Amino acid sequence: FTGTIGVTVILALLSSLALSLTVIPALVGKLHRWGNAPVIGSWWQTGFSHPRLTQTYGWVLDKIFARPVIGVVLTLILPISGFLVAPNLEQQFFPPTDREQFYIEFELPTQTSLEQTQTNVVKARELIRNHPEVVDVHWFMGKSAPQFYYNVIANRENSANYAQGLVQLQPLVASRPLIQSLQSELNQAFPAAQVLVRQIEQGPPFDAPIELRLYGPQLHRLRELGNQIRAELAQVPDVIHTRADLTEGLPKLALTIDEEQARLAGIDKTEIAQQLDTSLEGAVGGSVLEVTEELPVRVRLSNPNRSNLNQIASLNLLPNSNTGDNRERIPLSALGDIKLIPDLATISRRNGQRVNTVQGFITAGVLPATVLDNFKQRLSTFELPPGYSYDFGGEADERSSAVSNLVSTLGVLMILMAATLILTFGSFRLAGIIGLIAVFSVGLALGSLWLFGYPFGFTAILGTIGLLGVVVNDSIVVLTALHQNPRVREGNRQATRDVVIHSTRHVIATTITTMIGFSPLLLEKSGFWPPLAIVIIGGLGGATLMALSFVPCAYLLLKRRKHKRAYTNRPLLKAQTFN
């Protein structure tokens, strides 16, 4: 959904350009009072002006322009500091929303019946409704709830041991403390179940915030390694639940046939399998006509007999050696041993390889990147046998994918910006000055995140990319004014100061209006949009200072070097000898 932001901004800028070239000149010609007489009015009519402030500002510019190298060094302190503190930024790529809702996943052991699941869910509902912040709880038994938010995965169907609940809260209630409290209460009330109280977040969908995919050829070895990794994950702080694909097994009826007894009884393995299938799964024995539709009738043992191990062991099988009424029935227990054994519930594959996915769920409000870093530290000493490997999924995988999608267009963006600047100024050096402003604005954006305590995430990257196109506007205004002044082109510092002072009013006006436009995003409660706003506001504010200091200093250095090279390359006058 963030793609519409770019479309909206492009359309707004094109509309602004059209109005600036057509409507605005007509309004100025109609409304502006032309004449040589000075206009006397209040500051809101003629603009703010303070002689003492202007004098001080000019004095500062004189000191900076007297030694442009020092001016360049001073202006680079802030952006370089931003790059230095960037590794210390917390990472939260997909923050939670501000909806008065959250959802619960309630999962019991695989063999649990739907009736048992419903009984536990009713108790959980009563516990949740005891909190006054809760308006209502809606449960969906045996399947996932309909997709009520764009990134909540609805991937469970026909699961008797599973239920999903949607909790509606009172207006203006902070959901995170309630989620943490309910998680603790439900864990204590239902120790046999895995209960996940999950907040609704932004970003692409993923099953679990922490996910490790373990690959290997042998299932039993994958299961052992997965259990070891799961034990390590469970010891990481803020991990509340873990699970693995190959951990839980289903009860399986194993039949070991005594081939000698079966041969003496006159029955082979194929016939045993066919008769068991007919008794347990059933066979079509007729049909019933329902209006115009013919419904098949399947005949099999009753459910109590099919689910009872003793009843199955006492099933009588018919041998094929006797015919007619002389055939004697043989109990199944006489032909071999019957016992229940655990069997893997699922065998998952990814890219053609067997995989055991270990998942971890964390406390609401904790950054997944922090937990993942702690988990990686614990895995640093974990050695896998040959032929086995692992990679990370979950939030980290989606984060990498999102960053790749954003950065994939950055190269094209930089080429287009560079071409536009070169064609505008007709100079690679002047375009390079603007390019440096764009690069250093990234450091200013990172420093703003660190200064105001916002995490680095998806919206911060989005704001930084958008900042590259906005932040150069002030510098282009100042550099154009400098380049159009003949005295400045000769390296005159006083003329440079006058041009910068004259441009300051316009530069500050555009900067302040842009900052005000992004200020409402700082008040957004969920934490999704404030990083974008602070990146643009902080980066634009710092870039404005660079436009008024770094750009003139860099321009003076270029002109000084040009004049020095021109002076050096002048032909020397030959000395004349007089007799």
pLDDT for the residue 360: 94
pLDDT reported for residue 305: 80
Nearest to 128 by CA among 142, 118, 138, 114: 138
Name the segment(s) of the chain with CATH classification 3.30.70.1430.
97-200
pLDDT at 345: 65
CA 354 to chain centre: 27
Which part of the chain has CATH 3.30.2090.10? 250-280+296-344
For residue 293, the cross-strand partners are: 290
Query: Tell me, what's the pLDDT at 365?
Result: 84
Q: Where in the sequence of the chain do the CATH 1.20.1640.10 domains occur?
A: 50-88+409-562
Residues whose CB falls within 8 Å of the CB of residue 529, separated by 6 or more in sequence, listed in order: 459, 521
pLDDT of residue 47: 64
Q: Tell me the per-residue pLDDT of 456-504, one tens digit each, with 9 for 90 and over.
A: 888 888 888 888 888 888 899 899 999 898 898 888 889 999 999 988 9
Write down the pLDDT at residue 578: 40
> Which SS3 state, helix, strand or coil, does residue 486 take?
helix
Question: Among the CATH numbers 3.30.70.100, 2.40.50.140, 3.30.2090.10, 3.30.2130.10, which is that of 250-280+296-344?
Answer: 3.30.2090.10
Strands (E), 181-276: 194-199, 210-215, 239-244, 249-257
Cα separation of 519 and 113, whole Å? 54
Low-confidence ranges of the chain (pLDDT < 70): 1, 33-48, 248-249, 321-327, 345, 526, 562-579
pLDDT at 138: 94
Burial of 134 (0-12, 13-18, 19+ CB in 10 A): middle
Domain 50-88+409-562 maps to which CATH number in 1.20.1640.10, 2.40.10.220, 3.30.360.10, 3.20.20.70? 1.20.1640.10
Q: How far apart are CA 228 and CA 218, in angstroms?
A: 16
**Residues 6+ positions from 507 with CB-CB distance below 8 Å:** 474, 477, 478, 544, 547, 548
Residue 504: closest CA among 551, 537, 435: 551
Q: Which 8-state DSSP code applies to residue 239?
A: E
User: pLDDT digits over 238-269, tens only?
Assistant: 999 999 888 766 778 888 888 888 888 888 88
pLDDT at res. 126: 94
Q: Considering the domain 97-200, what is its CATH architecture?
A: 2-Layer Sandwich (3.30)
Instruction: State residue 542's pLDDT score.
Output: 92
Contacts of 497 (CB under 8 A, 6+ apart): 58, 61, 62, 65
